Amino acid sequence: MILRRVMEMSHITLNTTIHEIFHHPQIGDLNPYLIYCLDRDLWLNEHVNAIMDQPLTAAKEINWSPEGILKGMNFLLDELEQDRVRQHFIYSEEEAQEDPQKKEICLLEFQPEKVQPEKPVIVLASGGGYNSVCNIAESFPTASHFVEKGYSVFALSYRVSCPRTMIAALEDLKKAVRWLFQNDTKLGYDLKQYGYVVGGYSAGGNLVCNYGAPNIGWKAADLPKPICLFPIYPFIDLFEWGDRPEGEAEFLIRRLGENYKDLQHQYNVAEHVDSDYPPCYIACGRDDATVGIRDSELLKTLLDQAGVPAVLDAADHAAHGFGDGTGTELEGWPERALVFLEQNNRSEF
């Protein structure tokens, strides 16, 4: 579905309030996907309410990059004005009968001014603790960098706040990739020859790392291997979460189900990194107080041991949630990730 806007787009500024951004009239049908969750009003009240009536610069208080959001939102508005945004619902009505939330699961496609089918497409999965998908702070800003370099980007909104969320989200990502391969020619791409990349942030980074794990991800689903992954401040070690305030059991029950102990090893990425794992460009701040840099360092070590190309782009100061890195010490990571992509590109799909 192509999303068309006939009126001239009104760009936001750093003085635009958070409330005005979340109720921007010209975004229309895409408003629910700025932050995708089951109850956005409740989510905003819990996470953003304290800064809702403040200018965008206040986003720093929740570790979001105001400059990144500014870039991403104005990019979204420009793409809408140029009719370069397409929304693709990936589940059929029949498939969605078993789970009504599947009706909302979609890919938002962002195109460069001239689509370049010889380039791989990039799929991005924002984070939000498997309770939300924070496209406004992560995928949209980063997409602007990739599109500027001629890459088409698909931002995935996956199922959240549902039973066995981690499993459902991985099903959605695998479905999204399969859908892209089934529809690439119609969309104007050639994934079978030029391939794809998957990137994600925080919980989305965990999702992407799960997808990279051969035992539950791309290989288990009989999908082509991605050229590389971009895990951004991911978590990969499910046995580390027992030290968290909510405790291991509560954290994992919500993500894997009551029988989480039967699945914990299966979904523990740290146990499944081998030579089949895709190359990874990892980015994280050493002062990340939410996940911490340990998981990123562990992933890099495991990839090195498996002989898989990997880069850890780490900075002393880049708080969890930095998104595209604008205004932080990791500014420019999307461009560096593309260099890594080009170094690891191949054509055997």
Contact criterion met (CB below 8 Å) for 120 and 181: no
SS3 content of the chain, % helix, strand, coil (to 5): 40, 15, 45
pLDDT of residue 6: 41
Walk along the chain (349 residues) and give the pLDDT tens digit of each residue: 545 444 455 899 999 999 899 889 889 889 999 999 988 777 777 778 888 899 999 999 999 999 999 999 999 999 999 999 999 999 999 999 989 999 999 999 999 999 999 999 999 999 999 999 999 999 999 999 999 999 999 999 999 988 899 999 999 999 999 999 999 999 999 999 999 999 999 999 999 999 999 999 999 999 999 999 999 999 999 887 655 555 667 888 889 988 888 999 999 999 999 999 999 999 999 999 999 999 999 999 999 999 999 999 999 999 999 999 999 999 999 999 999 999 999 744 4
Residue 305 in tokens: 């041991």
| CA–CA distance, 314 with 293 (Å, rounded to integer) | 8
Residue recorded with tokens 């931002």: 155
| CA–CA distance, 236 with 323 (Å, rounded to integer) | 19
DSSP character for 191? H
What does pTM read for this prediction? Answer: 0.94
User: Residue 152, exposed/middle/buried by CB under 10 A (0-12, 13-18, 19+)?
Assistant: buried
Q: Distance between alpha carbon 187 and the CA centroid of its chain, in Å?
A: 21
**Intra-chain end-to-end CA distance of the chain, in Å:** 28
Q: What is the DSSP annotation of 256-271?
A: H-TTHHHHTTTT-GGG
Q: At what angle do helices 165-187 and 203-212 cross, to 10 degrees?
A: 70
pLDDT of residue 242: 54
| CA–CA distance, 59 with 62 (Å, rounded to integer) | 6
121 - beta bridge partners? Answer: 196
| CA–CA distance, 138 with 129 (Å, rounded to integer) | 13
Domains and CATH numbers, the chain: 82-344 (3.40.50.1820)
pLDDT of residue 5: 45
